[in-house]
Structure 1
Amino acid sequence: MIWAMVIALALATGAAAVLLFRVPRPQWALLGVALMLGLAGYAWQGQAYQAGQPKNAAIAAAEDGSALVAARHSFAEGAPQSNFAIISDGFARRGDYAKAAGILRGAVRENPEDSDAWLAMANALVEQAEGQLTPASLYAYRKAGEAAPDSAAPAFFLGVAMIRGGRLIEADKLWREALRKTPADAAWRADLEQRIGALEGLMRRIAGQ
C-alpha cells in the first residue's frame, strides 16, 4: 500500500508539472529522471511511515549511510564480519564513503572471496560517486556475486543502483534474480516481492504514457 502511494504521488507530481506548469515536451525525460531519483532513495530505505523532519547535509549523509549498512546486514542475517568490514561500516554510517571503500580494499586483498566486503565496497563506491555506477563499483558488485553465487544481496543492491540511474528494466531483472535466490522463509522476501511489484507497476505506467 505504501509503495502504491509513493508511486501515485510521483506520477501525480509529474502530471502536475506537465499539465499545470506547462513543462515542455523536450524536458519530460529530464523530469522523469528527477522522479526516478526520488523513487530510488525510497527503493532501498522504504520507511515512509516515519515522521518527516528537516536535516542538515551531514546528518542526512550519516542517516543514509546507517540505513545502507543496516540494509546490507539484513541480507547477511548475522553472518560474521571481518575486522575490515566492521571498521568500514563505521565510516559508512558517518557518510565517509571514500574511507569506507579504502578500508575494504584491504579486506578483499586479505580475502578475495569475502562477498560481503566486495558488496560493501560496491555500495560505498556508488555513494562516493553520488549515486552513479562506475567501472570500479560494477567490478565490485560482480566480484561480490562471484564470491557468493547463491546470495540475493549483490543483485538487489546493483538493482537499486540501476534504479538511481533510471535503468528500470535492468533493475527489474536484477531484483527478480535476487528473488530467485531468496529462501522462501527469508525475512526480507515479502518486502522484496512488494518492491518488485511496485517497480513493475511503475514501468507499466511509464510505458502507457
Structure 2
Amino acid sequence: MSGWIGLALIGVVAAGALWVSGVSRSLWTLVGAALMLGAAGYALQQRAGLGEHLAVSDATPVAVAPEMVELRNAMLGRFTGDGAYLIASDALMRSGSRRSGANVVLLGLNHYPRSLTLWTGLGTALVQHDAAVSPAARLAFDQATRLAPEHPAPPFFEGLAYAQTGEYRTARLYWARALKLAPAGASYRRDIALRLAALDLVIAQLN
C-alpha cells in the first residue's frame, strides 16, 4: 500500500513542478503518459515489498561527448533558437545537474512544441537523467519520429541511448534505420556508418 501512496505523491509533485515551471498544458500529456506507463509497470510487477535501492545521484556529472554534440549539430543544425536549449542542457548535465538539464529542454519545448531538435534532445536528456532508456525517453523519441519520420536523428540518438546502456542489438536496429535515412551526400552519413560497423564488431565479439 505504501508503494501506491508513493506513486500518487510522485504524480502530485510532478504536476506541481510542471505548473511552477510554466510548462504549457500541451506538454502535460507526455508526462501524464509516462506516469501512466510507470503505474502500469508497477501494477504488473506487483513487487511493492522490495527494499529500496539507490538512484543515480543528481550531482553525478554526465560525460557529454564533444563528438556527439558535433554530430547532433550536423544533423539538426547549429546556432538555432531551439538548439540553444540543448547547449544549456549539455552544460547543466556536465555540472551534474541532471534534473535541471532535462527541465531546460522541457522549457524549450514550451516555446518550440514542434521542434524535432528538442524532442530528440529531450529523449537524450531523460536517458542521461534516468541512466536508462525510460518510458518517458521512448515517448520523447517517438514524438520526434512522428514530427520527422524520414529524419535520421531520432533513430540515431535513440540507438545511441540503447548502446550506452548496453542493449547493443536493439541499438543496431535504430542505427541501421538512421543510416538508411541519412542522405547520400550528408556529411554525417559516414559517421553513422562507422559507428554501425563498430557496433557490429562488438555484437560479434559478444556472440
Instruction: Kindly report which structure 2 residues correspond to 1:40-119, keeping only aligned pairs within 5 A, or say none.
Output: 61=61, 64-65=63-64, 67=66, 68-78=68-78, 80-82=80-82, 84-119=85-120
**Unaligned residue ranges in structure 1 (runs of 5+):** 1-59
Report the equivalent of 2:204: 204
Matched, 1:141 2:141: yes
Give the match's secondary structure for 1:65: coil
Structure 1 residues 180 and 87, CA, compared in 2 at 3 Å: closer, same or farther? Answer: same
Report the equivalent of 2:9: none
TM-score (norm 2): 0.61
What is the deviation of 1:186?
1.2
How far, CA to CA, are the matches of 1:198 and 1:85 in structure 2? 27
How far, CA to CA, are the matches of 1:89 and 1:195 in structure 2? 22
Aligned 8 A contact 1:141 1:158 in 2: yes
- Structure scoring higher RCO (CA < 8 A, sep ≥ 6) equals 1
**Total equivalences in the alignment:** 146
How far, CA to CA, are the matches of 1:87 and 1:180 in structure 2? 31
**Unaligned residue ranges in structure 2 (runs of 5+):** 1-59
How far, CA to CA, are the matches of 1:201 and 1:137 in structure 2? 27
Give the match's secondary structure for 2:197: helix
Matched, 1:128 2:129: yes
- Note the alpha carbon deviations across 1:119-143, whole angstroms, 9 max, x for none: 111111111123x111111111111
Report the equivalent of 1:161: 161
Report the equivalent of 1:152: 152
Aligned 8 A contact 2:71 2:188 in 1: no
Report the equivalent of 1:189: 189
Give the match's secondary structure for 1:61: coil
What is the deviation of 1:66?
5.8
Aligned 8 A contact 2:61 2:93 in 1: no
State the identity as a percent.
26
Aligned 8 A contact 1:61 1:95 in 2: yes
What is the deviation of 1:78?
3.1
Which moved further from structure 2: 115-124 or 198-207? 198-207
How far, CA to CA, are the matches of 2:71 and 2:193 in structure 1? 16
How far, CA to CA, are the matches of 2:79 and 2:176 in structure 1? 24
Corresponding letter in the other structure for 2:201: G
Aligned 8 A contact 1:175 1:196 in 2: yes
- Note the alpha carbon deviations across 1:139-176, whole angstroms, 9 max, x for none: 11111111222221111111111122322221111001
Report the equivalent of 2:6: none
In the TM superposition, structure 1's runs of 4+ consecutive aligned residues that sit over 6 Å from their partners are none
Aligned 8 A contact 1:66 1:94 in 2: no
C-alpha RMSD of matched pairs (Å): 2.3
